């Protein structure tokens, strides 16, 4: 049994999985500003596809772990090397910022072994996440991210 309030407030090391479908610049900076206030740049790692690195770097300085399409197999499952990198790191909380199900993002979130794994509500999400946020802004990604931040601010 996990007390979510304590788990998030006590978390010191965070993994943020950048979404496969890029956030717009304003939304990305809002999310990263919030997470930067919650976690220091030394204790937060952003997992991002190499071709999307400019979105993260523009937001604020933080540790990044990049991957390429070669690190993902034909079935969108991360290859062994990338999964090993995730398992070798230590996180208290993992945030998967994919609004829709990303198989690779879900697998990497689970591979992080973070006791608290947060994402948006998705079909079959219970297999990968233990805290899912339901948003009503279907198709409105900025609204979904604002809703996620409102929920996280409660903890």
Q: Which residue range forms the structural domain that includes residue 140?
A: 11-37+44-153
Q: First vs last Cα of the chain: how many Å apart?
A: 17
What global pTM score does this model have? 0.92
CB burial class (10 A; 0-12, 13-18, 19+) of residue 104?
buried
* Distance (Å, whole) CA 11 – CA 71: 28
User: pLDDT digit of tens for each residue in the chain (155 aa)?
Assistant: 777 778 888 999 999 999 988 776 678 778 888 888 888 878 999 999 999 888 776 666 678 999 999 999 999 999 999 999 999 999 999 999 999 999 999 999 999 999 999 999 999 999 999 999 998 766 788 888 989 999 888 88
Residue 112 lies in a domain: yes
In-domain check, residue 102: yes
Domain of 107, CATH number, reads 3.40.50.2000
Instruction: Classify residue 95: in a domain, yes or no.
Output: yes
Looking at the domain assignment, is residue 3 inside a domain? no
Three-state helix/strand/coil letters over 77-96: CECHHHHHHHHHCCCCEEEE
User: How high is the pLDDT of residue 28?
Assistant: 73
Per the domain annotation, does 17 fall within a domain?
yes
In the chain, the number of structural domains is: 1
């Amino acid at each position: 049994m996990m007390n979510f309030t304590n788990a998030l407030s006590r978390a010191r090391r965070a993994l943020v999985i950048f979404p496969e479908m890029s956030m717009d610049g304003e939304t990305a900076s809002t999310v990263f500003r919030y997470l930067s206030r919650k976690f220091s740049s030394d204790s937060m790692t952003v997992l991002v596809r190499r071709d999307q690195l400019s979105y993260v770097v523009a937001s604020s300085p933080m540790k990044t772990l990049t991957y390429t399409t070669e690190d993902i197999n034909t079935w969108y499952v991360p290859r062994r090397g990338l999964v090993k990198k995730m398992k070798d790191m230590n996180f208290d909380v993992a945030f998967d910022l994919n609004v829709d199900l990303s198989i690779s993002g879900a697998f990497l979130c689970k591979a992080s072994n973070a006791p608290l794994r947060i994402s948006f509500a998705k079909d079959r999400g219970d297999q990968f996440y233990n805290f899912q946020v339901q948003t009503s802004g279907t198709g409105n990604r900025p609204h979904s991210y604002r809703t996620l931040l409102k929920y996280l601010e409660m903890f």
